[in-house]
Structure 1
Amino acid sequence: MTPLKATIRTIHLWLGLATGLVLVFVCLTGCILAFEKEIEQSWHAERYFVAPATTAPLPLAQLVAAVQAAKPKAKIGGLKVYADPTRTVEISLAGGLGGKGGAGRGRPTAESPRGERLERAAGPEGPGKGKGKGGKGDAGPRLFVNPYTAAITGELNPRDNFFHTVEQLHRGLVAGPTGKLVMGINSLIFVVILTTGLVLWWPATRKALTPRLRIKWGSSWKRLNHDFHIVLGFYTAVFLLIMALTGVGMSFDWANKVLGAVTGTPLKRPEPPTSTPIGSAALAFSPDALLAWARQQAPQAQYYSLQLPKEPTGSIRVAMLPAGALTDNATDEVYLDQYSGRIISQQPYTGRNLAQRVRGLYKPIHTGAIFGLPSKVLALVVSLLGATFPITGTVMWLNRTRKSRKKQPALQPA
């Protein structure tokens, strides 16, 4: 082994030993997050699915009224309506509200002609996310309503959700900014470990290539452990490297600045436009009118997210996910003046710049959701194997240490 490769192996070894436990933990929690949507909907199918009825769905105003009857002090933050007739309607409450119907702390808003008090608490990725001048607020509870009977089928507080806890552990060990920094550094170290591992794997001769591509089944457990680390490590290295790099991108602001510099486009999206108050006019659109308008704009959309302003100058945001969209956040967005109903601004997903589109792919690539079930299965397998490499690598180091000790000559007494 050349001095350079010996140095690389030392770096690979000690970084692996130093971060091994964390890497195992990150990979195992990543396995859970890969199928978050499927597990959540399987555990609580009554929240998300209903038997389709032969009658038409009830007006959204009636669903809103049912939620307000159950949560008299709550304010509605947004509505999400799916094209799938078996899905419930998701109605999010304004941020800062208790999951059991606590008093709302949002600002007073205009009322629609039907008397529904509507307040926006959702960001670009759906109800309950984001913040900003356009009416986005902190994540609040979501209620799931049967569109045919107006029965509330379930309630979900994102911060009390099991998968929210797993994600916080995965991204920052539930230790706030410090934990996020630690996990970000760990992702950087993982990139170095994978890169040095590929360098160490590279055979010196063509004859040595075949043994590094095949596992010698039937060999001793030491040889199998060696092959699991070397061979499987090679086959999964590229996928793990992609996951590690997207993890770095989601952990550090400087990584986003680098993305913007490389693409030559700004990553930050413009602030939502504002409405022009006209006296004390009420909201121009009811939820039903908004939904009807959105369906005219995108008849084949998978879902429609309707989010109304909580401020007098806020704008109405309508997001529509086109059929066949690559990710759940690849929405076409339209902002409407809450008083006149005119379109203030609109941006289809294809109109976002390169940096914004690439940044939006980080999470679906990281979790394996980018290509649906096949890529999720791949992410699960790769993450499971990734959790074994610190273990097999440590065993290789221990075996090598014991072997070198046996080779040392015994000291003779004087």
Structure 2
Amino acid sequence: MTSKKKNSRRKTILQLHKILGLSTGIVLFIVSITGCLWVFKEEVESFYDDYKYVTPKEEDVISASVVKSIAEAVIPNKTIHGVIYGKPHEAIEVVFYEAEPEVFYQSVFLDPYSGEFIKKTDNDSGFFAFILKGHLRLWLPDAIGSRIVSYSILLFLIILISGLFLWWPKNKKNWKQRLKFDWNTKTRWKRKNFDLHTVTGFYIASFGLILAFTGCVMAFNWFYFIAYKATGGDKAPQFIIPKSAPQYVSQAYDTPIYDKLIPKLYTTYEHAKSFELHYPENDSTSVLVEVSNSKGLYYDMDYLFFDQHTLEEIETTSIYGKYKHAKFADKVIRMNYDIHIGAIGGIAGKIIAFLVGLICASLPVSGILLWYGRAYKKQVKVVAGKVRG
């Protein structure tokens, strides 16, 4: 390829990089800042969540049906999403959620032994709820904001790839200059800003691509499907709750049969961190129990389904079943959220995700300043030429 063609291609990519960067800059700044703040949500909330803990006792925990009646008395006429049973020293959390006509998302905490009401919380308000709304939809109506965020993240993939192409030095002499800050007392702020944009952009590009890619997996169904199939997935990639078998013989129970599930699971899954039971939605759906096997992680959860009439375990054709049955492609998709927030790497992974988010937020700022500096420089030249003329 001739030098002229290379320069022409570089100019085209630079123009694309500039247009996409300027058009999505504000969105990417907000999404990046809110994302890096969200990373440490659990750690921050642990400083003021004493209501989630109780004094453990050598007693059986209250049954799921009793939990349901107590919680519905606290918050009547609302839908219970699930009941979370934790360790002996943890309170039972009953999660209420409705998406329409408007979002209702609250939790009720109960003493697991006496059923005594401890606290009610509004999960859709507060600092981190505010941060999440900004991250997902820019605090705009969901139909508008979520779409703007989704397509901006998709464009961010192109911005990062084009940025790497533009970063690549034309010759070996420039390699050293592109890999580190070579500043001194004479270095002007424009040069420093250029280095901040290019050098930091290069070092976080691979991590930025991972964050953007995992974000797109959550934002677009078609992206999710392609990512799953591309890694060799052969199961149903969506969440499927199987049906219970028809009940031909009428059976009378003093209490719902699902009351036997949690005591049984405590014995079967001794090392589990928590169990989230979901009441059957109607007479034909199964009972879902999500078994959390790791603190702060979601990918290795076991999703168990039980016939609501017999408690016979039902297998699912979905990727969301028992983790030990998950194949490579299933694990990749199930890890997506944990990768996105850095939790997959523990506290070190979260620190990396935080720093990458922070630097990603700086790129639109330094990029806009870079564009403004060049545009301003051109204006000065034009004005100076007219004055001389």
| Structure 2 unaligned residues grouped into runs of 5+ | 1-5
Following the alignment from structure 2 to structure 1, what is the Cα–Cα distance between the partners of residues 216 and 241? 26
The residue matched to 1:154 in structure 2 has which SS?
A: strand
**Greater CA drift, 60-69 or 232-241:** 60-69
String of CA shifts for 1:148-202, please: whole Å, max 9, x gaps.
Answer: 5544332234444543443233222332233222211111211111111111111
Q: 2:44 aligns with which of 25, 39, 42?
A: 39
Following the alignment from structure 2 to structure 1, what is the Cα–Cα distance between the partners of residues 304 and 39? 31
Following the alignment from structure 1 to structure 2, what is the Cα–Cα distance between the partners of residues 19 and 234? 19
**Greater CA drift, 153-162 or 246-255:** 153-162
Kindly tell me: are residues 326 and 220 of structure 1, through their superposed partners in 2, closer, same or farther at Cα, counting changes over 3 Å? Answer: same
User: How many angstroms does 1:356 deviate by?
Assistant: 3.9
2:224 is equivalent to residue 256 of structure 1? yes
- Residue matched to 1:79: 83
- Residue matched to 1:56: 58
- Residue matched to 2:257: 285
2:180 is equivalent to residue 214 of structure 1? yes
Kindly tell me: are residues 26 and 298 of structure 1, through their superposed partners in 2, closer, same or farther at Cα, counting changes over 3 Å? Answer: same
- Residue matched to 1:299: 270
Q: 1:397 aligns with which of 371, 375, 381?
A: 371
The residue matched to 2:335 in structure 1 has which SS?
A: helix
The residue matched to 2:314 in structure 1 has which SS?
A: strand
String of CA shifts for 1:186-220, please: whole Å, max 9, x gaps.
Answer: 11211111111111111122221111111134333
**Greater CA drift, 170-179 or 57-66:** 57-66
Conservation of the 8 A alpha-carbon contact between 1:294 and 1:318: no
Kindly tell me: are residues 63 and 230 of structure 1, through their superposed partners in 2, closer, same or farther at Cα, counting changes over 3 Å? Answer: same
How high is the sequence identity, in percent, across the aligned residues? 27
String of CA shifts for 1:40-87, please: whole Å, max 9, x gaps.
Answer: 333x4133234x44x32552136566545545666755321123x442
Tell me the amino acid that sits aligned with residue 23 of structure 1. L
User: How many angstroms does 1:251 deviate by?
Assistant: 1.5
- Residue matched to 2:20: 15
User: How many angstroms does 1:352 deviate by?
Assistant: 3.4
String of CA shifts for 1:101-139, please: whole Å, max 9, x gaps.
Answer: xxxxxxxxxxxxxxxxxxxxxxxxxxxxxxxxxxxxx97
2:297 is equivalent to residue 344 of structure 1? no
**Greater CA drift, 207-216 or 172-181:** 172-181
- Residue matched to 2:3: none
The residue matched to 1:60 in structure 2 has which SS?
A: coil
2:303 is equivalent to residue 333 of structure 1? yes
Conservation of the 8 A alpha-carbon contact between 2:31 and 2:135: yes
Conservation of the 8 A alpha-carbon contact between 1:41 and 1:48: no
**Greater CA drift, 162-171 or 332-341:** 162-171
User: How many angstroms does 1:255 deviate by?
Assistant: 0.9
Following the alignment from structure 2 to structure 1, what is the Cα–Cα distance between the partners of residues 296 and 106? 27
**Greater CA drift, 277-286 or 392-401:** 277-286
Conservation of the 8 A alpha-carbon contact between 1:27 and 1:383: yes
Following the alignment from structure 1 to structure 2, what is the Cα–Cα distance between the partners of residues 365 and 211? 32
2:183 is equivalent to residue 193 of structure 1? no
- Residue matched to 2:238: 268
The residue matched to 2:290 in structure 1 has which SS?
A: strand
Q: 1:166 aligns with which of 131, 152, 160?
A: 131
Kindly tell me: are residues 5 and 46 of structure 1, through their superposed partners in 2, closer, same or farther at Cα, counting changes over 3 Å? Answer: same
- Residue matched to 2:111: 146
Kindly tell me: are residues 176 and 78 of structure 1, through their superposed partners in 2, closer, same or farther at Cα, counting changes over 3 Å? Answer: closer
2:188 is equivalent to residue 229 of structure 1? no
Following the alignment from structure 2 to structure 1, what is the Cα–Cα distance between the partners of residues 315 and 155? 43
Tell me the amino acid that sits aligned with residue 342 of structure 1. E
Following the alignment from structure 1 to structure 2, what is the Cα–Cα distance between the partners of residues 367 and 291? 30
String of CA shifts for 1:8-34, please: whole Å, max 9, x gaps.
Answer: 111111211121111111111112221
Following the alignment from structure 1 to structure 2, what is the Cα–Cα distance between the partners of residues 93 and 412? 70
- Residue matched to 1:90: 93
TM-score, normalising length from structure 1?
Answer: 0.79
User: How many angstroms does 1:365 deviate by?
Assistant: 1.8
Conservation of the 8 A alpha-carbon contact between 1:187 and 1:244: yes
Kindly tell me: are residues 16 and 27 of structure 1, through their superposed partners in 2, closer, same or farther at Cα, counting changes over 3 Å? Answer: same
The residue matched to 1:372 in structure 2 has which SS?
A: helix
TM-score, normalising length from structure 2?
Answer: 0.83
Kindly tell me: are residues 63 and 311 of structure 1, through their superposed partners in 2, closer, same or farther at Cα, counting changes over 3 Å? Answer: closer
Conservation of the 8 A alpha-carbon contact between 1:94 and 1:140: yes
**Greater CA drift, 210-219 or 57-66:** 57-66
Conservation of the 8 A alpha-carbon contact between 1:318 and 1:333: yes
**Cα root mean square deviation, aligned:** 3.1
Following the alignment from structure 1 to structure 2, what is the Cα–Cα distance between the partners of residues 328 and 373? 15
Tell me the amino acid that sits aligned with residue 328 of structure 1. Y
Following the alignment from structure 1 to structure 2, what is the Cα–Cα distance between the partners of residues 356 and 201? 35
Q: 1:175 aligns with which of 132, 141, 155?
A: 141
Conservation of the 8 A alpha-carbon contact between 2:242 and 2:314: no
Kindly tell me: are residues 16 and 286 of structure 1, through their superposed partners in 2, closer, same or farther at Cα, counting changes over 3 Å? Answer: closer
Kindly tell me: are residues 286 and 326 of structure 1, through their superposed partners in 2, closer, same or farther at Cα, counting changes over 3 Å? Answer: closer
The residue matched to 1:228 in structure 2 has which SS?
A: helix
